[in-house]
A and B are shown apart, each in its own frame.
Chain A
Amino acid sequence: MQDARIRLFSFVSLSIATFLSVPGAVLSLGWLLLSPGTLRETMKSAAFWVILLFVTIIATATQMSGNDGLSYFIRTGVIILLGFSVYREWHPGEYLDLSVWLFGKKAGFDIGLAVEMSIQGLHEASREFARIRSALSLKGLQPGIRLIPAVGFLMIHTRLMRARDQADLLATRGYRAGGSCCPVFRTSNRDITMGILAILVVFLSFMPVRDIFILQM
């Protein structure tokens, strides 16, 4: 999806639908399947599987204690999948555009800048972690519990260094609050279709299953 406004709207709508009911979660999953490329990329993320593992553990414990663990697993799993998919589709600068479009050039610019810097930071941290793992393997060190403090300290250090550089850069450029930004969005027919389908998913998730499928006894 190209238009960040429709993407965010769809994400919020589908998250509500998924949270409300299992059919909503299943329909949201169907919506995600309409973008197989993004879904495939999301499935490659190690972080996604790690989080899903924790969700599975909690769901199993819930199910074993007599509650509806399966429903929890399906709904939470799809919400995580939605979150990762939206994160995958991010392009630099689009949340700044989106925030300015939503909240204006003062508060909107500040919020957008903070969001952009945070997402950029996550991307960089992910790249840095990959480099650190490579550096460890070059030294013949296997990642393990003993190395967690060293790697953790290194990640924090590099993030703080980066934050300081960014703060210096913003100050040098005279940033105080707000800023000038002219949001530009490109909307394709596919974006509109996906947006309409997301609304439809929310609508259907409110309806009981028996109203959607006419079951004959």
Chain B
Amino acid sequence: MNEFNQERPLIMHIDLNSCFATVEQQARPMLRGKPVAIVNRRTDKTAIVTASYEAKAMGVKVGMKLRDAKILCPDIIALESDPSKYRYVYHRLLDIMKDYSAHVTMKSIDEGVIDFHDTSQAIAGRDLVDIGYEIKQRLKDEIGVWMRCNIGISTNRFLAKTAAGLHKPDGLDMITSQNIKEVLGSLQLTDLTGIARRNERRLNSVGITTPLQFFDADVPTLRDVVFKSVVGEWWYKRLRGYEVDDVETHIKRVGRQYVLERFDLTYQEITQRLHHLCESVGSRLRSQQRAARGVYVYAKTLDREYWHASSLSPLPFFSDQAIYAQALQLFQRAPDGLKEIGVHCYELADFEPSQLSLFADDIARERHIAEVIDTLNQRFGERTVHSADTLNTGIYVHTKIPFGSTRYL
């Protein structure tokens, strides 16, 4: 398999670049053409979640502190994220994509893949480039005139995503056997999705410094020397347009984190915020019909140290109280001077009890209470019923939009 995949390119990657900033500019016409940064909290120390193209042109990058962005771009307009808007646009994009194929996978809130294999005759007979331009126009017609997306087409998910990144914003590119070398010749190793600094160092160690050299490397080099596993073989196939990334992912953990709004909070105030996170994690866990056996708590200090602790129980649990009780016990060993806290549940299992227990009545009661609270919160709005301990935390710990996952959208 040293030849590039010769089948017709039938994978389309769609990426709403600078998604949140573009949606805000769509919603508020007076922001168009201006540098905009989306942040989770409007403080100087907050990190930028998304920057508009105008801000990016001034050197502003995602993850940069707002304070630093203001030095580069004094006129930058910082807006707090508005998850309901982005959720709406996500669903509209998903609706549009589903009109073309039953095989649509959203990779995150702002990007998805349409697999045109096994689609209807009417769609299969059309040129995918035409469909790409049609989707761009539909975004403008059905959501708004400012909406733009990058589209990439190829024979596998990896190259379709690579194609989508070639001409931002509003590009449409196709990667085939005819232009693969030309495209790879224009990129750096770290431009390839999945090649960050560590993998770049691995490749550099055998003299591979460009994507073209990576493409020309043979399987034994990649598998036995560079990646030292089957991953090397996957990369060989991936670069040649063969599909290796069409895998279903399963939820392995559910978690939330929070950067403290002030760094002089008392221990009790911090544990109240931890409690709030546990309620949020519990709700998410139960919304996926899952229970957990493990709790993992972590904290980052002002001195940039990372502390963590975890515990594993023999029986699965699902209630907010059970999660918080374990998290609080672990958190007692946390250091001082905290900047960020987080909690995850892991070792997930089905919510349904699988075997008889001596404590079946207690578990049934706890389960019933949790279900009633979840129902009330769904009916009357998030956090209508919660612990008294977290009564005053809601104004600080907001629900934010998850970038990497679409399971709660």
Asked if A and B are interacting partners, one says no
